[in-house]
């Protein structure tokens, strides 16, 4: 799980894993900022909404009025859950002749890695971070038909499609919504540029970001704003372009903002909260790179998290880890598995800039 060949044994600088300094890493934000999690969901279970009764009130006709049937319409979505798993094995021999060797137990217990500095200080924190990132990846970028670029998909060459194809994520569902109703898409022309540089220059072109945000809010269904949790959620690239535009147009030194959590920037535009989600930028760059350009690097959504759902059949949001040691093969095993799926509640209550 760790490439120990990158570290020198007995180099006089590192003798204890507790002295090993982590490279700068990103502490990913809580995914519940952008979605609503449903636990105990069953595959095929329905999520339903009552829509409306239709129009009422017509010209009066005196006696013997004409009665019509009550016709209540609704919306029904179906949960489709896919399986994910985390199977990992670690043998103590993989740690011998590395800087991790000093953290191992001795004698018969040498193979047992739990409760060692390697396990507690290094492995578990890294695994927890990887699991948080896994949920962001699946929930937002999942695609049951995930393919690499060579196969007609959007995944970067060398990226494993099985990291994504357990279920359709929210970006794919949002793409389907705007494909069915183009009025729910606010176009970002810079995304169609053929190079990284042109995609960046395009979004930074004077007035571009302000126009995108103005159109995004103007095009959005007004019912979205009836929910006090509604906001604009966008990539960091689009937010930074807006800040640049605001500064240049209005002569401000900067656009007011605050970091409300690791990887989350909160600001306001036209009285609406804006959340810049940096992990979207990082995942687009990591997984959806053609080699010359990124797949829609600038994105935004106007919606409420209460209209974007993640479902799992577990009682808790995240499945428990099974951690075991096998006395026969002398290996340590880590395993977790569950089911996951996503839904957009009411299709009309999202506006997507992409």
Predicted confidence pLDDT, tens digits, the chain (354 residues): 566 666 655 555 555 666 665 566 666 667 888 999 999 999 999 887 666 667 777 778 778 888 777 776 667 899 999 999 999 999 999 998 887 888 899 999 999 999 998 898 889 888 988 998 999 999 999 999 999 999 999 999 999 999 999 999 999 999 999 999 999 999 999 999 999 999 999 999 999 999 999 999 999 999 999 999 999 999 999 999 999 999 888 877 667 777 766 677 889 999 999 999 999 999 999 999 999 999 999 999 999 999 999 999 998 877 888 999 999 999 999 999 999 999 999 999 999 999
Q: How far apart are CA 347 and CA 338, in angstroms?
A: 27
Closest CA to 313 of 338, 293, 334: 338
- HSE, CB side, 13 Å, CA atoms: give it for residue 296: 16
The values of phi and psi at residue 183, to 5°, are -65, -15
CA 297 to chain centre: 14
Q: How far apart are CA 5 and CA 3, in angstroms?
A: 5
Q: How far apart are CA 195 and CA 179, in angstroms?
A: 25
Name the CA radius of gyration of the chain, rounded: 25
Closest CA to 284 of 211, 196, 351, 346: 196
pTM: 0.88
**How many CB atoms are closer than 10 A to CB 68?**
9
Closest CA to 126 of 216, 27, 225: 27
């Amino acid at each position: 799980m760790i490439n120990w060949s990158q570290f020198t044994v007995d180099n006089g600088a590192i003798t204890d894993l507790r002295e090993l300094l982590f490279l700068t890493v990103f502490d990913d934000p809580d995914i519940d900022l952008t979605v609503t999690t449903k636990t105990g969901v069953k595959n095929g279970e329905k999520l339903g909404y009552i829509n409306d009764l239709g129009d009422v009130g017509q010209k009066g006709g005196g006696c013997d009025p004409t009665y019509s049937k009550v016709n209540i319409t609704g919306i029904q979505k179906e949960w489709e859950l896919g399986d994910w798993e985390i199977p990992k094995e670690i043998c103590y021999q993989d740690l011998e002749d590395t800087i991790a060797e000093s953290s191992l137990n001795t004698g018969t217990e040498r193979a047992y890695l739990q409760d060692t500095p390697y396990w507690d200080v290094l492995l578990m924190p890294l695994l927890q971070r990887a699991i948080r990132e896994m949920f962001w990846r699946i929930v937002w970028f999942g695609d049951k038909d995930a393919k690499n670029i060579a196969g007609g998909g959007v995944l970067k060459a060398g990226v494993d499609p099985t990291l994504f194809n357990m279920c359709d994520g929210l970006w794919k569902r949002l793409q389907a919504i705007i494909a069915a109703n183009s009025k729910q898409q606010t176009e970002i022309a810079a995304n169609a540029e053929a190079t990284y540089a042109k995609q960046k220059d395009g979004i930074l072109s004077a007035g571009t970001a302000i126009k995108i945000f103005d159109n995004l809010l103007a095009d959005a269904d007004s019912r979205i704003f009836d929910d006090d949790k509604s906001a604009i959620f966008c990539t960091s690239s689009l937010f930074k372009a807006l800040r640049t535009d605001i500064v240049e147009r209005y002569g401000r030194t900067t656009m007011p903002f605050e970091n409300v959590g690791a990887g989350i920037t909160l600001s306001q535009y036209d009285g609406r909260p804006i959340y810049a989600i940096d992990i979207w930028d990082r995942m687009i760059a990591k997984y959806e790179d053609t080699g010359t350009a990124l797949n829609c690097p600038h994105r935004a959504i106007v919606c409420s998290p209460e209209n974007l759902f993640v479902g799992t059949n577990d009682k808790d949001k995240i499945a428990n880890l099974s951690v075991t040691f096998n006395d026969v093969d002398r290996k340590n095993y880590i395993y977790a598995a569950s089911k996951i799926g996503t839904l957009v509640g009411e299709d009309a209550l999202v506006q997507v800039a992409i």
